[in-house]
Structure 1
Amino acid sequence: MSKGSERLKDEGSKKQVILAGGIAGLVSRFCIAPLDVVKIRLQLQTHSLSDPLPHTGTNGPIYRGTLSTLKAILRQEGITGLWKGNIPAELLYVCYGGIQFTTYRSVTQLQSGLPRRLPPSVESFISGASAGAVATAATYPLDLLRTRFAAQGNEKVYTSLIASIRDIARHEGPRGFFQGLGASVGQIVPYMGFFFASYESLRLLLGSLELPLGSGDATAGILASTLSKTGVFPLDLARKRLQVQGPTRTRYIPRNIPEYRGVFHTLQTVMEKEGFRGMYRGLTVSLVKAAPASAVTMWTYERALQFLMRREIIE
């Protein structure tokens, strides 16, 4: 394996990797929070995209694209509406970033000790998929809370983070915190595997071009994220629909979210009632969000790790 590919995986102590990953997640989340809220609102909207009168049978605001959704949220809920769910989301991204990069580093080092090395792209896929699965499962309750807060309009379903935890525990039990986990893991394993595999390859290629301000890392993150996100998007939509199931399902925006029973039932129902295009509702804003999020994450991670190493902070 080339030195350029080894650098991301092997430099820095374990504590430095955790801190750099957490910083990257924190900065990335704050930057893309409004687009995340827009994405969730679009994914939960259930009217058929082919319906000439999409408002028929829909109780709640009608969103018709990224910009119109942004304007509608600003008009109806104010600027703070674009950062709904930001507290659990910030906790999610910090924890997720630290766990993701730590697992990626650990699995990569474990593979390097095997008597027979796998091809670099395969090693990157395994490390990325493992990192995504572990980080997703460990932080999933925060992901669910983020979705529910982002989905509530002016009517407060939950008044605070603590209140939401108590309410879900009381009325839905421990399983309530893991609604849609199957779809999430099913999505994140191929997504992160392909993301890291393509990121490593693109990073080496772009690194030779010596782009200014370290933009090669950011560009590689954008391209890798776009390719990976498109392939697994229907599972992401299923995850969002499942996360708002439960006794509060009819109180979100929109209010007519159907009742789904598992990943396959969700995908089947969406295909039957909303068509193939319905499976990709919110894809545009998802790609718009994912590209800068990945670029900011990888760029911040690289710079934060280098800073920690230069200053010899927390060896």
Structure 2
Amino acid sequence: MSRLLEKPNIAMSIKSTGSQLSSSVSTAAATSSSDVDDADGESASRTTPHTSITPDHTSQTVTARAPSTPMRQKIDQVLISLVSGAAAGALAKTVIAPLDRTKINFQIRNDVPFSFRASMVYLQNTYTKEGVLALWRGNSATMARIIPYAAIQFTAHEQWRRILQVDKDGSNTKGRRFLAGSLAGITSQSLTYPLDLARARMAVTDRYTGYRTLRQVFVKIWVEEGPSTLFRGYWATVLGVIPYAGTSFFTYETLKREYQEMVGSNKPNTLVSLAFGAAAGAAGQTASYPLDIVRRRMQTMRVNTAQGDRYPTILETLGKIYREEGIKNGFYKGLSMNWIKGPIAVGISFSTYDMIKAWLIELSHLRKNSNKN
């Protein structure tokens, strides 16, 4: 009986033991599975969204940002060049506006010889008859032209330098340096030429007998002379801007390069930049001045109808000036005034451009750093 009674106990013991073993195995398996998951770093339920969503999101973000970063940098560079060039041109032309108006008035007349004394008399008479603001007459047309002109010119110069690979990797490509400046001048002059003609018309007339506003210049020319008149003298201007812009940019960039090699600094101070710009302006004005005379005569032909002067083509204008006024008093009439105003204007323009551009680049870097933080 005792043995019989012991059998159920054995069975119960075996069953209990099996149950415990099964429970232990289940617990161990669960524990082992948890340990394996912990060894991998995350549980399956937590790992899945982290590995499937976050990396995809990150890759999408990187993919979205990667192509836009170089493009954004290029856009920033162009905008900085446009703003710097516009400010530089506006400041330079405003400073020398009275001298510029004086020079144009002597350029278009063949009955009055130019001299420094005569130019001072002209400035005094203008001030006495029309007031001090008359010395800046036509400056609104100048600003309407020079702001886009200078902005386009400096920006185009940066782009032409990049396209032509000027002085890339420390090389000394003087020919390309000159070509980049010439192409920049052609680009800006072509896009703003009618404004240059309007500015010349306003500079050689007074507010009573001439044009009262810039809009009136365009309306009267369009109605009375035809739209093609807005581009009269264009080819003389283009031929003149090739040596002018090419020589100006070439001289300035070459002087900066020589300065860098001598001093070891690629950022000359403001006075040095002014001096380099002045030298560039003098060289550029001298190289292109005869064609500047031609374009002014052609632009203002209808203004001087009382004198019966007609300048329909470049060759006829050159021949007429040579026959009636000679080389010195014709082709280089008013050049001494240009030697005063030209270096001042170009010096201010180049140095202001470099200064504002450096300031805007620094401001842009500060903004990017603040956005990262």
Structure 1 unaligned runs (5+)? 1-9, 55-61
The alpha-carbon deviation at position 85 of structure 1 amounts to 0.6
Q: Pick closer, same or farther for the CA change 1:115–1:33 going to 2, 3 Å.
A: closer
Change (3 A) 1:43 1:179: same
Which fold has the larger relative contact order, with Cα–Cα distance below 8 Å and residues 6 or more apart in sequence? 1
Q: Is this contact kept in 1: 2:106–2:112, CA < 8 A?
A: no
Of residues 100, 104, 114, the one that matches 1:36 is 100
Over 3 Å counting, the alpha-carbon distance change for 1:76 and 1:48 in structure 2 is closer
- Range with bigger deviation, 196-205 or 112-121: 112-121
Which residue in the other structure is 1:268 paired with? Answer: 319
Q: CA deviation at 1:172?
A: 1.9
Report if aligned partners of 1:48, 1:273 keep a CA contact under 8 Å in 2.
Answer: no
Residue correspondence of structure 1 range 91-130 to structure 2 within 5 A = 91-112=144-165, 119-130=172-183
Task: Provide the rounded CA distance (Å) in 2 between the counterparts of 1:229 and 1:257.
Answer: 29
Q: Contact 2:166–2:176 (CA<8 Å) still a contact in 1?
A: no
Please point out which of 278, 281, 286 is paired with 1:225.
Answer: 281
1:206-285 aligned at under 5 Å gives the runs 206-207=259-260, 208=262, 213-246=269-302, 248-250=303-305, 255-256=306-307, 258-277=309-328, 278-285=330-337
| Residue segments in structure 2 that go unaligned for 5+ positions in a row | 1-73, 369-373
| Change beyond 3 A, Cα 1:189–1:239 | same
- Map of 1:290 onto structure 2: 342
Larger radius of gyration: 2
CA-CA distance at 1:272 after TM superposition: 0.5
- Return the offset for 1:34: 0.6
Q: Which residue of 2 aligns with 1:180?
A: 233
Task: Classify the secondary structure of the residue corresponding to 1:225.
Answer: helix
Q: Residue 38 and residue 115 in structure 1: after superposition, are their counterparts in 2 closer, same or farther (change >3 A)?
A: closer
In 1, the alpha carbon distance for the partners of 2:174 and 2:168 equals 18
**Cα deviation per residue 1:89-140 (whole Å; 9 max; x = unaligned)?**
0111111111101111111111129999984211211110000011111111
Contact 2:97–2:136 (8 Å) recurs in 1? yes
Deviation at 1:205, TM superposition (A): 2.9
Change (3 A) 1:296 1:116: closer
Inter-CA distance 79–204: structure 2 relative to 1 (3 Å threshold) = same
SS in 2 for 1:260: coil
Deviations 1:6-51 (A, max 9, x none): xxxx9x71111111111111111111111110110111121274xx
Matched residues in 2 for 1:116 and 1:106: separation? Answer: 17
The aligned counterpart of 2:23 is none
SS at match of 2:312: coil
Distance 1:96 1:179, change over 3 A: same
Paired position in structure 1 for 2:124: 71
Aligned twin of 1:22: 86
Which letter does structure 1 place at the counterpart of 2:122? T
1:5 corresponding residue in structure 2: none
TM-score normalized with structure 1 length? 0.84
Q: Partner of 2:361 in structure 1?
A: 309
Query: How many pairs were matched up?
Result: 290
Distance 1:168 1:67, change over 3 A: same
Q: Which amino acid aligns with 1:226?
A: A
Say which of 136, 157, 180 aligns to 1:83.
136
Note if contact 1:46-1:257 (Cα within 8 Å) is conserved in structure 2. no
Q: CA RMSD in A?
A: 2.9
Alignment deviations for residues 143-164 of structure 1 (CA, whole Å, 9 cap, x no partner): 1011000100353321211121
Q: Tell me if structure 2 keeps the 8 A contact 1:42–1:63.
A: no
For residues 126-205 of structure 1, the aligned pairs below 5 Å read 126-153=179-206, 155-205=208-258
Q: Distance in 2 between matches of 1:114 and 1:107?
A: 12
Structure 1 range deviating more: 72-81 or 87-96: 72-81
Separation in 2, partners of 1:42, 1:292: 20
SS of equivalent residue, structure 1 residue 45: coil
Distance change >3 Å, CA 121–CA 164, structure 1 → 2: same
Show CA shifts across 1:207-260 (max 9, x none). 5458984211111111111112112211001111100123x443xxxx526111
- Distance in 2 between the 1:256 and 1:264 partners? 20
Instruction: Check conservation: 1:63, 1:69, Cα contact below 8 A.
Output: no
CA distance in 2 between counterparts of 1:111 and 1:206 reads 23
Please tell me the residue identity of whatever aligns with 1:37. Answer: R
Letter in 2 for 1:204: R
